[in-house]
């Protein structure tokens, strides 16, 4: 029996109130978490540089290829252990996380060691920034107000990087971020009673798109 068996609906702490509809539900993708949260690409580059340096210094010192290979075994073991740890953490985060978008709020259920559920009503959403990667995956960060108890450490890794003083809860590692952004945009517009406007497409190399919010503040420009 797991700590989530008591959920009436997976990812939701309670049944939805009458009139509220579940519009979308999903979880992060393991590889996306490994790449965007733990930066596994940079870790691989780091170990590649160390191996190249070990090879170059070995050749310079007159060692044979066999000797260089034997001397590199501890480094290879360390690299393998590091990749395995990143993969395990990414898998656990993806498996224990469920994001939900309803007609009234965003619900984030996450936590490997300490499970928690975060309800973000649309009226608290000031802006929603969409970060897209070239492969179609990405994140949706929510700029919120009125939720003073939010802490960067408590939300990590489901939080926008570098926004420590004013943490922004973030739906991380979404494989179909355009679909999720579309659902959220329609829901925010419907909650605000406004007609929907299309958002432009951008990759992670460009400023994030902004989705209009249902709160009292106008969305900031991209």
Tokens of 76: 């290879």
Most confident of 111-125, 168-182, 183-197: 168-182
Mean pLDDT of 17-27: 94
Q: Which residue has the higher pLDDT, 51 or 150?
A: 51
Query: From its phi and psi, is residue 11 left (phi > 0), alpha (psi between -120 and 50) or beta?
Result: left
For residue 219, pLDDT beyond 80: no
Residue 47 is predicted with a pLDDT of: 96
pLDDT in tens, 100-140: 999 999 999 998 888 889 999 999 998 999 999 888 889 99
Q: Order of strands across the sheet with 170-174?
A: 170-174, 138-144, 125-132, 209-211
| Residue located via tokens 């007159």 | 62
Q: Provide the pLDDT confidence category of residue 217 given band limits of 50, 70 and 90.
A: very low
pTM, two decimal places: 0.82
**Please, what is the average pLDDT of the chain?**
85
Q: Provide the pLDDT confidence category of residue 3 given band limits of 50, 70 and 90.
A: low
Residue 222 is predicted with a pLDDT of: 32
For residue 146, pLDDT beyond 70: yes
Strand partners, 130: 140, 209
Residue 216 is predicted with a pLDDT of: 41
Q: Provide the pLDDT confidence category of residue 25 given band limits of 50, 70 and 90.
A: very high
Q: Concatenated DSSP letters for 24-93?
A: EEE---HHHHHHHTS-HHHHHHHHHHHHHHHHHHHHHTT--HHHHHHHTHHHHHHHHHHHHHHHHHHHHH
The percentage of residues in the chain with a pLDDT greater than 70, rounded to a whole number, is 84
Mean pLDDT of 47-74: 93
């Amino acid at each position: 029996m797991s700590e989530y068996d008591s959920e009436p609906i997976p990812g939701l702490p309670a049944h939805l109130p009458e009139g509220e509809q579940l519009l979308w539900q999903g979880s992060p993708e393991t590889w996306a978490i490994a790449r965007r949260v733990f930066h596994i690409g940079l870790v691989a580059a780091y170990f590649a540089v160390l191996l190249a340096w070990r090879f170059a210094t070995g050749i310079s010192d007159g060692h044979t290829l066999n000797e260089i290979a034997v001397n590199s075994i501890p480094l290879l073991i360390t690299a393998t252990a590091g990749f395995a740890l990143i993969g395990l953490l990414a898998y656990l985060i993806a498996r224990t996380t469920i994001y939900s978008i309803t007609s009234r709020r965003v619900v984030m259920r996450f936590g490997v060691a300490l499970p928690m559920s975060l309800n973000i009503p649309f009226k608290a959403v000031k802006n929603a920034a969409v970060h897209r990667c070239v492969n179609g995956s990405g994140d949706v960060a929510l700029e919120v107000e009125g939720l003073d108890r939010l802490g960067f450490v408590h939300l990590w890794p489901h939080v926008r990087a570098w926004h420590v003083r004013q943490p922004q809860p973030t739906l991380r590692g979404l494989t179909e971020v355009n679909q999720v952004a579309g659902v959220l945009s329609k829901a925010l517009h419907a909650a605000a009673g406004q007609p929907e406007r299309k958002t432009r497409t951008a990759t992670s190399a460009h400023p994030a798109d902004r989705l209009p919010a249902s709160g009292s503040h106008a969305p900031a420009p991209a």
